């Protein structure tokens, strides 16, 4: 398995590609069915955010292999407009897509670790990790 692989997000179709890569890596790493589905859903949300708000960006997957535990790290990077009020988009119920439970708070719930850095006019970087239970 490649230690790091990336998928470019330019069009909606790329979301599917990103999901697939995320799921395959999760499967190879030994994640259960439920966690595979959660990881794929998190990828979807991250990729869709890029597609909808930033035009283009990238999602990179990286295997974390430490002695005590193993996991999958996903990093979504875009060069979009950036997020002016991060605490607002992290608020439950605040999703421009209108769906319950979705958006970045959803990604945070689906994964174990979540970190976001954003700069206006420059872009956003979201790093998130899921550990194998």
Partner 1 sequence: MEEVIDNSAANYKELLKHYLESQDEQALYGVEKVSKSFIKNEILPEEIINLHIQAMGEINPNLKADYKHSMNFLLEAMIFYGLAMQEIPLLKEEKHVLKSEISVAASMQKTLLGTTKPTIEGLDIGIISVPAHQMNGDYHHFIKGKDGSLGIAIADVVGKGIPAALCMSMIKYAMDSYPEESMSPKSILKNLNRVVERNVDPSMFITMCYAHYKPKESKLYLSSAGHEPGYYYHAQSDTFEEIETKGLVLGVSPDTEYAQYELPINKNDMIILLTDGVTECRDGDRFIDSREVLDIIKQYADLPAQQMVEGVYKHFEKLQDFQLRDDFTLLVLRKDV
Per CB under 8 A, residues contacting partner 1 are 32-34, 37-38, 40-41, 92-93, 99-102, 105-106, 109-110, 133
Residues 34 and 13: their CA atoms lie apart, in Å, by 24
Smallest gap, in angstroms, from Cβ of residue 110 to partner 1?
7
Query: Given the complex with partner 1, which of 3 and 93 has the nearer CB atom?
Result: 93
Query: Given the complex with partner 1, which of 10 and 32 has the nearer CB atom?
Result: 32
Buried b (16+ CB within 10 A) or exposed e, 56-69: ebbbbbbbeeeeee
Q: How far is CA 108 from CA 19, 55, 132, in A?
A: 17, 22, 16
Smallest gap, in angstroms, from Cβ of residue 97 to partner 1?
11
Query: Given the complex with partner 1, which of 41 and 58 has the nearer CB atom?
Result: 41
Residues 125 and 133: their CA atoms lie apart, in Å, by 26
Query: Given the complex with partner 1, which of 36 and 124 has the nearer CB atom?
Result: 36
Smallest gap, in angstroms, from Cβ of residue 3 to partner 1?
27
Smallest gap, in angstroms, from Cβ of residue 47 to partner 1?
15
- Dihedral through CA 39, CA 40, CA 42, CA 43, nearest 10? 120
Residues 27 and 56: their CA atoms lie apart, in Å, by 27
């Amino acid at each position: 398995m490649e230690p790091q692989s990336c998928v470019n997000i330019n069009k909606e179709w790329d979301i599917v590609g990103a999901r697939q890569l995320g799921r395959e890596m999760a499967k190879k790493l030994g994640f259960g069915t439920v966690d595979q589905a959660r990881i794929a859903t998190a990828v979807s949300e991250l990729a869709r955010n890029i597609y909808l708000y930033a035009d283009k960006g990238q999602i990179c997957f990286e295997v974390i292999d430490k002695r005590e535990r193993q996991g999958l790290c996903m990093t979504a990077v875009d060069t979009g407009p950036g997020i002016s009020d991060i605490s607002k988009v992290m608020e439950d119920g605040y999703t421009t897509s209108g769906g319950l439970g979705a958006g970045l708070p959803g990604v945070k719930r689906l994964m174990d670790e979540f970190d976001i850095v954003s700069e206006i006019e420059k872009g956003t970087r979201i790093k998130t990790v899921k550990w194998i239970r």
